[in-house]
């Protein structure tokens, strides 16, 4: 499911703009240091003179010129770091700035065989464009662990939510080391989708690829590719993205029209990702009994045996916030 040339051009321009922004930011920082830290500029400018002296020594046959150069550069670096520290700045304040350290904002890295390949940040942009994931980017700016609040929970509901938060944080912190799945279930508006978004934000920022679908959107797209002869050729690529992304989030399971196609596709997705040890997060308003009655025994067994089950209870936080503010409903 290839992107159009205009979509690739959009990604390319995005990297170009990111590099320009970070370059201007670094120039602004350097000017700030030059203006506020006496002696720093002179130290930095002396590097060129030291390099010239080393080159002259080499031409004169001095075999120790290279070692002398390394020692002098290391000494100048220590002096610059000391000046920054004395002025209250971190030692890397004037190091090159990259939004993605892995590809240094080029979109490409060197693979194991030395061939350039797309960076994880490039692949995530491809996924976002292919599957209209921009909404999750907007959502996670508002809904993340830093905006989390326990204000609307009390008693057992509060304890359930705190346990779910800790489970979510543990999931993100150990994501690379351990294979784990989460199943958030319970009443409407208690923070299930919110916590999924929190996890998505943390992992996206850590460089992992995430696909976030509502259940209805996921199965609609699968049906379109499977039953539309013009789009059927895209199905294999869609499956590969769905099975291979680092994390798949299926939100609001049970809101889709459930039939034999949906049931078989859901099981295939869960089974294939389990075989590949690729985590899944599912949120639903269904109870476990409703889950068992609505889907096959195989799906119920797969979820209850391979997922950490996390039940959330309490009032609809969005309604509580709406009543408190008199404005539009919002998530916890």
CB 240 within 8 A of CB 126: no
| pLDDT score of 227 | 87
- 45/286 Cα distance (integer angstroms): 66
Would you say how long the chain is, in residues? 332
Encoded tokens for 206 = 């850590």
- Listing DSSP states for 4-35 in one string gives PHHHHHHHHHHHHHHHHHHHHHHHHHHHHHHH
- Residues β-bridged to residue 116: 110
pTM attached to this predicted model: 0.72
Q: Tokens 């789009």 — which residue?
A: 231
DSSP letter, residue 233: G
Q: Is 278 helix (H, G, I), strand (E, B) or coil?
A: coil
DSSP letter, residue 115: -
Tens of pLDDT along the chain (332 residues) come to 567 788 888 899 999 999 999 999 999 999 999 999 999 999 999 999 999 999 999 999 988 989 999 999 999 999 999 999 999 999 999 999 999 999 999 999 998 888 899 898 998 888 877 776 656 666 777 778 888 888 888 999 999 999 999 999 999 999 999 999 999 999 998 999 999 999 999 998 888 999 999 999 999 989 988 888 777 778 888 898 899 999 999 999 999 999 999 999 999 999 999 999 999 999 999 999 999 999 999 999 999 999 999 999 988 777 777 777 665 444 45
- Of residues 99, 197, 189, the one with CA closest to residue 146: 197
| pLDDT score of 115 | 87
Considering the chain, tell me which residue range(s) the CATH 3.40.50.300 domain(s) occupy. 131-325
Q: Which CATH architecture has domain 131-325?
A: 3-Layer(aba) Sandwich (3.40)
- 270/267 Cα distance (integer angstroms): 5
């Amino acid at each position: 499911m290839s992107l159009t040339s205009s979509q690739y051009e959009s990604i390319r321009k995005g990297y170009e703009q990111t590099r320009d922004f970070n370059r201007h930011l670094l120039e602004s920082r350097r000017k700030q240091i030059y203006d506020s830290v006496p002696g720093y500029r002179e130290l930095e400018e002396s590097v060129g003179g030291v390099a010239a002296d080393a080159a002259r020594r080499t031409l004169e046959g001095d075999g120790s010129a290279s070692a002398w150069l390394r020692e002098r550069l290391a000494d100048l670096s220590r002096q610059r770091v000391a000046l920054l520290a004395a002025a209250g700045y971190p030692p890397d304040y004037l190091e090159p700035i990259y939004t993605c350290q892995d590809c240094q904002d080029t979109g490409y890295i060197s693979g194991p065989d030395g061939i350039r390949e797309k960076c994880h940040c490039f692949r995530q942009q491809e996924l976002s464009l292919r599957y209209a994931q921009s909404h999750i980017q907007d959502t996670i700016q508002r809904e993340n662990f830093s905006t989390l609040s326990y204000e609307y929970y009390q008693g057992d509901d509060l304890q359930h939510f705190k346990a779910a938060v800790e489970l979510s944080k543990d999931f993100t912190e150990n994501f690379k080391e351990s294979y784990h799945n989460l199943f958030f279930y319970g009443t409407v508006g208690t923070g299930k989708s919110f916590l999924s978004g929190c996890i998505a934000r943390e992992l996206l920022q850590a460089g992992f690829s995430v696909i976030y679908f509502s259940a209805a959107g996921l199965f609609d797209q699968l049906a379109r590719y499977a039953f539309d002869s013009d789009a059927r050729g895209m199905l294999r690529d869609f499956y590969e993205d769905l099975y291979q992304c680092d994390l798949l989030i299926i939100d609001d399971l049970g809101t889709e029209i459930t039939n034999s196609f949906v049931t078989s596709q859901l099981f295939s997705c869960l089974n294939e990702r389990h075989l590949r040890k690729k985590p899944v997060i599912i949120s639903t308003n269904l109870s476990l009994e409703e889950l068992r009655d609505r889907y096959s025994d195989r799906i119920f067994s797969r979820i209850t045996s391979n997922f950490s089950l996390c039940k959330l209870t309490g009032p609809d936080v969005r309604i509580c916030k709406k009543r408190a503010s008199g404005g539009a409903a919002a998530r916890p």
